[in-house]
Amino acid sequence: MTQIQTLLIIGFVWPEPNSSAAGGRMLQLIEQFQQQGFGITFASPAMDSDFMTDLASLGINKKSIALNCSSFDTFVKELNPAVVLFDRFMIEEQFGWRITENCPDALRILDTEDLHCLRQARQKAFKEKREFALIDLLREDVAKREIASILRCDLSLMISEFEMDLLKTTFKIDEKLLYYLPFLLEPISETTFEKLPAFQERKDFVFIGNFLHEPNWNAVQYLKETIWPLLRKQLPETELHIYGAYPSQKVLQLHQPKEGFHIKGRAADADEVVRNARIVLAPLRFGAGIKGKLIEAMQCGTPSITTAIGSESMQGDLPWNGFVTDDVPEFIKSASQLYQDQKLWTEAQHNGIAIINQRYSKELFENDFAEKIHFLITQLPQHRLDNFFGALLQHHTLTSTKYMSRWIEAKNKKV
């Protein structure tokens, strides 16, 4: 009887697909590895949450782990995974050296989610009221940490083609270490499309996004202070409904029903909210990756108005499901026109369906991804020989991060 190979996922948080796109992305990856026949253990140092996925119901072993604690070494030696997936580079920094030391033959994969250094550099440039430039990335400490993590891993999963090209051109990362794997979605069939609410059945505008994510909070402020007052003048009977997990008090204070600006907090059913809206507004001014809220809009047949940052790497050569503009008057004009023109709205809706089916259908990726994982497992020694800088960083990490972690563990025992 063939022994089932084990995948260990080390999560930054427990998956919450109804709270963030990252949670949905993690469940998509889990599905792919289960289809490949892996038994999965999901471990995380995070606290449990009320909204986390019931991993046991998916046939996944759940394991709570501690930072800077040698109990992880015992756990991972016994588990002896064939593949380890790190959820974001911060997790690889914490646990990567322990995997190298205790399970040297395990394939190490990093799921980047998005390039954190790109998001942070753009955010910093925005707050300093200047244009972002690629040189900003080279000045960021987080870039050095993130690139080092990518080099230490055998493969990094990239969700954005723009970011993949950035790593190859700006940071000179060997493309053998990178793999493009965007959201993996069910294609939208004609039957599913016909069940979507029609133009006349929908009303109002919606924004949806996790408020722990700084680009979302900034976009809501932008809507409240700049965009919505102008748009409401043109469409005085409309309302804007803001949904998102983990709203703080400063978010809730923006609730102004008399102005048609409604802060709703967490959506019980995000799909239902977006399906019943006529248009999604997403004026994102910084960020990275591809945007779950705009994917969700397309899946729900809801056109969107967004910025160049919002649409980055999402549509390929296909037309957007609405409008993309960074100009405020153009944003207002496009939103007003799209809201009132059924023919234009329907055309935008069909554009979104085409983007989902032609760029994010999981059928386009799953066979190639499975072959990639199998190839790397069988060719791992040679693959690592070809990545000298990764080996170099792995060596120095083992002699620096390791002893820092050991020192913290010893210090904690004395307290």
pLDDT value, residue 370? 97
CA 206, 211, 214, 220 torsion: positive or negative? positive
Does the residue 58 lie in any domain?
Answer: yes
| DSSP structure string for 148-182 | HHHHHSSEEEES-HHHHHHHHHTS---GGGEEE--
Residues 324 and 357 occupy one common structural domain: yes
For residue 396, what are the domain limits? Answer: 6-184+365-414
Provide the mean pLDDT of the chain: 94
Does the residue 298 lie in any domain?
Answer: yes
Residue/partner pairs of 261-270 with CB below 8 Å, 24 or more apart: 261/223, 261/224, 261/228, 266/18, 266/19, 267/18, 267/208, 267/243, 270/18, 270/208, 270/243, 270/296
pLDDT value, residue 403? 60
Among 320, 253, 269, 244, smallest CA distance to 20 is for 244
Residues 336 and 210 occupy one common structural domain: yes
Beta strands in 95-220 (DSSP E): 107-111, 155-158, 178-180, 205-208
Q: Which amino acid is at 360?
A: Y
Q: Which amino acid is at 250?
A: K
Q: What is the mean pLDDT of residues 166-174?
A: 95
pLDDT value, residue 3? 64
Q: How confident is the model at residue 1 (pLDDT cuts 50, 70, 90)?
A: very low
Q: 138 vs 318, which has greater pLDDT?
A: 318
User: If you search the block for the tokens 């004026």, which residue do you land on?
Assistant: 283
Residues 177 and 132 occupy one common structural domain: yes
Does the residue 256 lie in any domain?
Answer: yes
Residues 129 and 23 occupy one common structural domain: yes
Q: What is the mean pLDDT of residues 337-356?
A: 98
The overall longest dimension of the chain from CA atoms, in Å, is: 70
Report phi then psi at 210, rounded to 5: -60, 125
For residue 401, pLDDT beyond 90: no
Q: How confident is the model at residue 410 (pLDDT cuts 50, 70, 90)?
A: confident
Does the residue 164 lie in any domain?
Answer: yes
Residues 315 and 273 occupy one common structural domain: yes
CA 324 to centroid of chain Cα atoms: 21
Among 129, 141, 11, smallest CA distance to 64 is for 11
Residues 148 and 35 occupy one common structural domain: yes
Residues 80 and 199 occupy one common structural domain: no
pLDDT digits (tens, 9 = 90+) for 109-119: 999 999 999 99
Q: How confident is the model at residue 96 (pLDDT cuts 50, 70, 90)?
A: very high
- Residue 42 and residue 60 in contact, taking contact as beta carbons nearer than 8 Å: yes
Give this prediction's pTM. Answer: 0.93
3-state secondary structure of 132: coil
For residue 378, pLDDT beyond 90: yes
Residues 230 and 281 occupy one common structural domain: yes
For residue 402, pLDDT beyond 70: no
CATH of the domain at 345: 3.40.50.2000
pLDDT value, residue 85? 98
Report phi then psi at 342, rounded to 5: -65, -40
CA 252 to centroid of chain Cα atoms: 25
Residues 261 and 128 occupy one common structural domain: no
pLDDT digits (tens, 9 = 90+) for 205-240: 999 998 989 999 999 999 999 999 999 999 999 999
Residues 176 and 31 occupy one common structural domain: yes
Task: State the total domains in the chain.
Answer: 2
Residues 158 and 240 occupy one common structural domain: no
| DSSP structure string for 313-344 | TTSTTSPPSEEE-S-HHHHHHHHHHHHH-HHH
- The pair of three-digit structure tokens given for residue 56, joined into one six-digit string: 């046991």
pLDDT digits (tens, 9 = 90+) for 142-152: 999 999 999 99
Report phi then psi at 14, rounded to 5: -75, 145
User: If you search the block for the tokens 């980047």, which residue do you land on?
Assistant: 112
pLDDT digits (tens, 9 = 90+) for 20-53: 888 999 999 999 999 999 999 999 999 999 999 9
Q: How far apart are CA 11 and CA 111, in angstroms?
A: 10
Q: What is the mean pLDDT of residues 276-303?
A: 97
Q: 274 vs 404, which has greater pLDDT?
A: 274
Q: How far apart are CA 103 and CA 81, in angstroms?
A: 7
> Residue 204: left if φ>0, alpha if ψ -120 to 50, beta else—which one?
left
Residues 394 and 305 occupy one common structural domain: no
Q: How confident is the model at residue 407 (pLDDT cuts 50, 70, 90)?
A: low
Q: How confident is the model at residue 415 (pLDDT cuts 50, 70, 90)?
A: low
Tally of helices (H runs) and strands (E runs) in the chain: 19, 13
Does the residue 1 lie in any domain?
Answer: no
Q: How far apart are CA 42 and CA 201, in angstroms?
A: 42
